[in-house]
Every structure is written in C-alpha cells, then in structure tokens.
A and B are shown apart, each in its own frame.
Chain A
Amino acid sequence: MEAISRSVTLTAEPLTPFMPWSVEERAPLPEPATEGEPERQLLVELLREPSAIVERLLDPARLQGLVVGSVGVIAVCTSLFAATSSAARGHGESWALPAALVSANVLMALAASLGPIYAASILVAARVPIARLVAALLASAATGSLLLAGLAPPLYLLWRLDAEWAGPLLLTAAFLLSGAAAGARIHRLLSLLAEAVTRAALGDSTAVLSAQDSYRVGILARVSWMMVAFTSGLGFWAFNALG
C-alpha cells in the first residue's frame, strides 16, 4: 500500500485510502473506560468480580454504598428463599414470618460474628480495618445469598415433585452450596485486599503476598467462615426460622 502523505510512512497500522491523513485519524482510539461509562452494578460485581469489590473496599467514599447494598441483597435474597421454601412445604399462608425471620437471623448472625472475627484478625497479626472487614464480610454473605435465591425455584419444583427425599436434600444442598460460595468469596476478598494494600505500600504493582502473609490471611478467612456458620446455625436453630 502506498502512503498518502509522502512524509508519513504507514508502519503502525493500515489507514484507509478513502480518507486524507490527519492527526485525528492517527490518534489512538479513546479508551472505553472512565468517562461516560455507567458504573457496574453491585449485583454483577458480587457474583463475578471480586477485584471490583476490592476496589470498592479500598475507596472510603464507596464503602457505605457497598455495606448498604450488601445488606439489601442479603435481606431480599434470604427472604425470597425462605418464602419459597415455606410455600413449597405447603405453608403458603404463613410465608411472611419465615421470610422476615431468616433475613433477620442472617443479619444478626453476621453482626454477632464481627467481634470474634476482628479479635481473631488481631490474634493472627492480620488486622483488617473494621469498616473494611464489615464490608468484606457482608459482600461475601451477599454472594452466598444470591446463590441461595437462585436455588429457590429448583427447590420449589423438587419439593413439589418429591417431598420425601429430593426436596429436603436440595434444601440442605442449597445451604451447603451457599456457605461454600460465601466462604470461598471471603477468602478471595481478603487475599485480594491484602495484596492491594501490600502493592500500594511497597509501590510495586507486581508484588505478591509472602507465604506467611497468605497463611495468616487464610486462617482469618477460615475463622470468618466458621464464625458466621456457627452464629447463623445457632440462629436458625434458636428461632426455628424456616418453620
């Protein structure tokens, strides 16, 4: 291809022969990021982008939004699951009480587990600022709640088909899957958060957590998961939340 302008060689990328050369034509295409781009939805980030959640955790201006949004997601999703489960078992007229009890139970369990988790973080020399810890814990519980809400329709269907085996098995499996997802998410969030803070502090964008740091973060994540499982299990038993 012959260059349109004799003084400019076309080496980097082919230009169209139908348009004259100009600086604007050769300027790099604008980046699709930043200006004008609508902010990604919290629901999408909760489900598939832990790194975006970490960005929210690191930004004090967006922390409160993350906390309130996660509480909303937890309340709505767990209520939906409890109401569906109640309706599937034939308690259609009294679905409101389990719905309210389950969401309140999960939120209370999360609140009750905050203190022990924070104390554990100090004990294992991996203290997370309390505001970030609250937000990370809520975000991971919200991820688990979203999974729980997604499993509500299959639960209704299976319970209607087989109330003896398939329904109760799926009910148990739904809680196990939701717990596993929330546990994996809190581990991932805490690891990414620690890595981001380490990178910022060292000024090295390629820095990774040392083996000891990863180990301590892992312990903290497991303690968090265990505490939330314990307190929420206690609540489900004490309040007989699912009826």
Chain B
Amino acid sequence: MTALVILTAYAVLGLVAAVFALVQKRGGSLASRLGQALLALALWPFLLPVLLTPGDASLRPERGNRSERARRLDEVTSRLEECWRQAAVESSWAAEQAREHRLLDGFVARLRAQERRLLEMEAALATAPASVKERLTRLYEHSAAELEHSIGLVEELAAQLTLLRFSDLGNPSAARAERGHIEELLLRIEALAEASQPIPGEAPPSAQVSRA
C-alpha cells in the first residue's frame, strides 16, 4: 500500500515535470519537446533541475546582448592570436617570445574580467542611490577609458606584428625597428599587467566566488 502511494506521488510529480517540459519555450520542435516530456516523466528527479535552470543567469556562458566593447575585445584577441601565429612561423624572433605570449594571454584574460566588471557596474549604476551615483559614474568612466586604452594597445600590437611579417622585404634595419616597437609595446603591456595585479592583502578572495 505504501509503495503504491509512493509510486503514485512519483508519477504525479513526473506528470508535472512532463507538462513543464512540454510548455517551456526553449524546447524546439514539438517532437523534441515530446521526447523531453517522456524523459522527464520517467527521470524527473534528475531532469527537473536541468529543465528549471535555463532561467538561472549564473549558468549562462555569456549574455545575449553583448556590448560593443566585448565584441571589439573578441575581435582584437582573435586577430592578435592569428598575427602572433603567423609571425612565429615567419620570424624566429617572434617564435622565441613564449614568455611574452603567456603574458599576453594573461593580459587578455584580465581585460575580459575588467569588461565583465564594467557590465556589472552598468547594472549597478541604473539602481544606485543618488548619493553615490556621481562617484560611481566617475569610477565607471575611468575604468572604461582604461579598458579602451588597453584594447588599443593590443590592437596596436597586432598591427605591429603584421608589419613585422613583411619588414624583411625592405631595409634590413626596418625589421630591427619593428621589433623594437613591438618590444616597447610588450613592455607597456607588461607594466599595465603588473600594475593591475591585485595586492595580496587586497585580492578579491576566491571564497566570494565559490561561497553560496
């Protein structure tokens, strides 16, 4: 008798899960939604959490309405990667800059984090009380300008790497000059990366991330 009650309760909850799978918007075609509904009917303890999560913004890999800055960052990152690979094939100097390549990877990752923080700040600005709005706006503008400057540096580096690929076609000293420009840019990027390193005592604790 008890087993029958438990089975009935399981089936009722399974039906609810199946209906939910049927009516949800992101299901796709009717056939796939029917398949999902059948699966949910039988395996709702495992599938219901998955069906319920799409609304959870924390699980989404990225936002749908990406900012112009984020697109520019993506574009310049892929261009830099491509230019660096080309230059590494055609120039022994570029092939030997493994440390600089790693540094750039870290720098670009930091820029992405900075971009995400700016998006959060935009959201905070919309609801910020008047007492802090002005200071928050100034902070936002300063951070945005800093990020734009950093993206500009990476763009310039990608352009210089393109130039380096073809510099040996002309005057031999031109290649040396281009390398000098690139090294100078890399030094500026390294200085920026070091400046934006969090001080150990002030680092955002990773506990913030993993803590509930």
Query: A residues near B, CB below 8 A?
Result: 7-9, 11-13, 26-28, 58-60, 63-64, 67-68, 71, 110-111, 114, 121-122, 125-127, 129-135, 138, 194, 197-198, 201-207, 209-210, 212-213, 216-217
A197 CA to B211 CA in the complex, in Å? 11
Closest B residue to A60 by beta carbon equals: B59
Known: A114-B45, A217-B210. 20 other contacts (CB 8 A): A12-B88, A13-B89, A27-B89, A28-B89, A58-B61, A60-B60, A63-B53, A67-B47, A110-B46, A127-B211, A130-B49, A131-B52, A131-B56, A133-B49, A135-B50, A138-B46, A204-B109, A205-B105, A209-B210, A210-B207
Residues of A near B132 (CB, < 8 A) are none
A197 CA to B209 CA in the complex, in Å? 8
Residues of A near B53 (CB, < 8 A) are 60, 63, 129-131
Q: Which of B36, B47, B49 has the most CB of A within 10 A?
A: B49
Closest A residue to B58 by beta carbon equals: A129
Question: 6 smallest A-B Cβ distances: which pairs?
Answer: A203-B113, A127-B212, A111-B45, A131-B53, A11-B92, A130-B49
Q: Which of A194, A201, A204 contacts B110 (CB 8 A)?
A: A204
Q: Knowing A12-B88, A12-B89, A203-B113 touch, does A129 contact B59 (C-beta < 8 A)? A: yes
Q: Knowing A28-B85, A60-B61 touch, does A202 contact B206 (C-beta < 8 A)? A: yes
Q: How far is the CB of B93 from chain A (nearest CB, A)?
A: 9
B95 within 8 A of A: yes
- From DSSP, what is the main secondary structure of chain A's interface residues? helix
A133 CA to B212 CA in the complex, in Å? 14
Q: How far is the CB of A200 from chain B (nearest CB, A)?
A: 9
B43 within 8 A of A: yes
